[in-house]
Amino acid sequence: MERKAWFDKFGEYGLKEGVPSHDGSLIGGYRYGGNSFEIYEKVFGTMNPFAEKLEDDGKDQFGSMFATSFGATQDVHLPAPKDIVITLECTLLEFYNGCMKKVVYERKKLLHDGKTARAQRHEMEVEIKPGFSEHTTLTYTQKGNEAEGHKPSNIVIKFR
């Protein structure tokens, strides 16, 4: 019932992306993160919905090349998303005492189709602990850019 009310008020986009809360952040939202071709392959034994039986030459039951073209997503090696590297400027006093710094960055986030991405601005607080130096590196795993068929990249924080 709650999702029906969200849909009535915000439409399909609000249901998928989430709805704004009183503080401006988004709540809710749902995105299927799986691979529908893999599900199809588990049920039917092939990623190609047009191929009943593949011949040795890679052709389907019609003698055409559908067998290799429709299942091509598993053979295409898309590049993994690049890590987001951020360099924070810190004073000697901040390294000695520690502090909190706000980091603003942009990352690519996959849309509901799981193929296209859009840039989104994000903010996060980074704790600089006493004793950090310009040789310290912080890595936030899977918080970076998203790309089809890959895990999200990392955010790497370096200091200067």
Q: For residue 148, with 0-12 CB atoms within 10 Å meaning exposed, 13-18 middle and 19 or more buried, which class applies?
A: middle
Helix/strand/coil for 58: coil
Q: What is the pLDDT of residue 51?
A: 56
**148 — pLDDT class (breaks 50, 70, 90):** confident
137 or 8, which is more confident:
137
Confidence grade of residue 50 (pLDDT, cut at 50, 70, 90):
low
Within 8 A by CB and 6+ apart from 158, the residues are: 85, 86, 87, 88, 134, 136, 137
Please, where in the chain does CATH 2.60.260.20 lie? 84-159
Element of type H or E holding 159? strand 155-159
The values of phi and psi at residue 159, to 5°, are -125, 150
Q: What are the residues whose beta carbons fall under 8 Å from the beta carbon of 10, sequence distance 6 or more? A: 19
Q: Is the pLDDT of residue 4 over 60?
A: yes
Residue 61 CA, distance from chain mean position? 37
Q: What is the pLDDT of residue 80?
A: 83
Contact status, residue 66 vs residue 29, Cβ threshold 8 Å:
no
Q: Which amino acid is it at 19?
A: V
The per-residue pLDDT for range 89-134, each reduced to its tens digit, is 999 999 999 999 999 999 998 887 777 888 889 899 999 999 999 9
Closest CA to 148 of 48, 72, 73: 73
**Whole-prediction pTM:** 0.51
**Superfamily in which the 84-159 domain is placed by CATH:** Urease metallochaperone UreE, N-terminal domain (2.60.260.20)
